[in-house]
Amino acid sequence: GENVEQHPSTLSVQEGDSAVIKCTYSDSASNYFPWYKQELGKGPQLIIDIRSNVGEKKDQRIAVTLNKTAKHFSLHITETQPEDSAVYFCAASIGWGQFYFGTGTSLTVIP
Amino acid sequence: GAGVSQSPSNKVTEKGKDVELRCDPISGHTALYWYRQSLGQGLEFLIYFQGNSAPDKSGLPSDRFSAERTGGSVSTLTIQRTQQEDSAVYLCASSSQGLGTEAFFGQGTRLTVV
């Protein structure tokens, strides 16, 4: 089955700086890669996703890049704000069936 | 609301009791997922339903766990003879399936076994 690894497990940045979270996957059949943000006491919320026919996608301060050859994808958050503090999960899917999640990154933005 | 709804939001039960957790997916979503999240941990897959197909139960940790989905909509996760290690947040998600469609999560049910 698919194996998704995520790094780092914790990340602290100063407000206004950028944050980068990286994930790798093992199954070349995976073609859909969502990112979720989970705030304390809440369910994961989809923030951005990318499909395998695209190399990069951007939505305001958030961007995701995908390298299919190397089987890795990354989340980039620019101009970080305190409200970006949360746990972030990457995931991979072959388009049906379960989503395989990374182990999460706890991001702290220091004001 | 239009999101995934889970009930109850919190459940405290005594060891050995049975519990039922409910998930109302987004209307029209054919795929439904259950995940478990232990304190400070990642998301552990439990079971996946897709339309009328046989569910993928490969993630259920023991035969004390079961789930059903009635009429292709509401799902119930049942844990029999609960143990303390069952304490976790149980998350439900749904998606309209197809190629790489988004999955949306509910707020979860926090289960505490005492």
CA dihedral (A2, A10, A33, B108) positive or negative: positive
Contacts of B55 in chain A (CB under 8 A): none
Q: Where is pLDDT greater, at A59 or B70?
A: A59
Contacts across the A-B interface (CB distance below 8 Å): 57
From A36's Cα to the closest Cα of chain B, the distance in A is 10
Question: Is pLDDT at B15 greater than 70 in this prediction?
Answer: yes
Question: Is pLDDT at B1 greater than 70 in this prediction?
Answer: no
| pLDDT the model gives residue A53 | 86
Question: Is pLDDT at B99 greater than 70 in this prediction?
Answer: no
3-state secondary structure of B70: helix
Q: What is the pLDDT of chain A when averaged over all its residues?
A: 95
Residue A55 gets the label, from left (phi > 0), alpha (psi -120 to 50) or beta, of alpha
A68 touches chain B (CB under 8 A): no
- Give A16-48 pLDDT, tens digit per residue: 999 999 999 999 999 999 999 999 999 999 999
DSSP string across A40-88: TTS--EEEEEEETT-SEEEETTEEEEEETTTTEEEEEE-S--GGG-EEE
| pLDDT the model gives residue B41 | 83
The band of A59, judged by pLDDT with boundaries at 50, 70 and 90, is very high
For A43, the closest of B45, B50, B107 (CB atoms) is B107
Q: What is the mean pLDDT of residues B54-81?
A: 94
The answer to whether the CB atoms of A98 and B104 lie below 8 A apart is: no
Question: Is pLDDT at B100 greater than 80 in this prediction?
Answer: no
B55 touches chain A (CB under 8 A): no
Q: Which residue of A has its CA nearest to B10?
A: A41
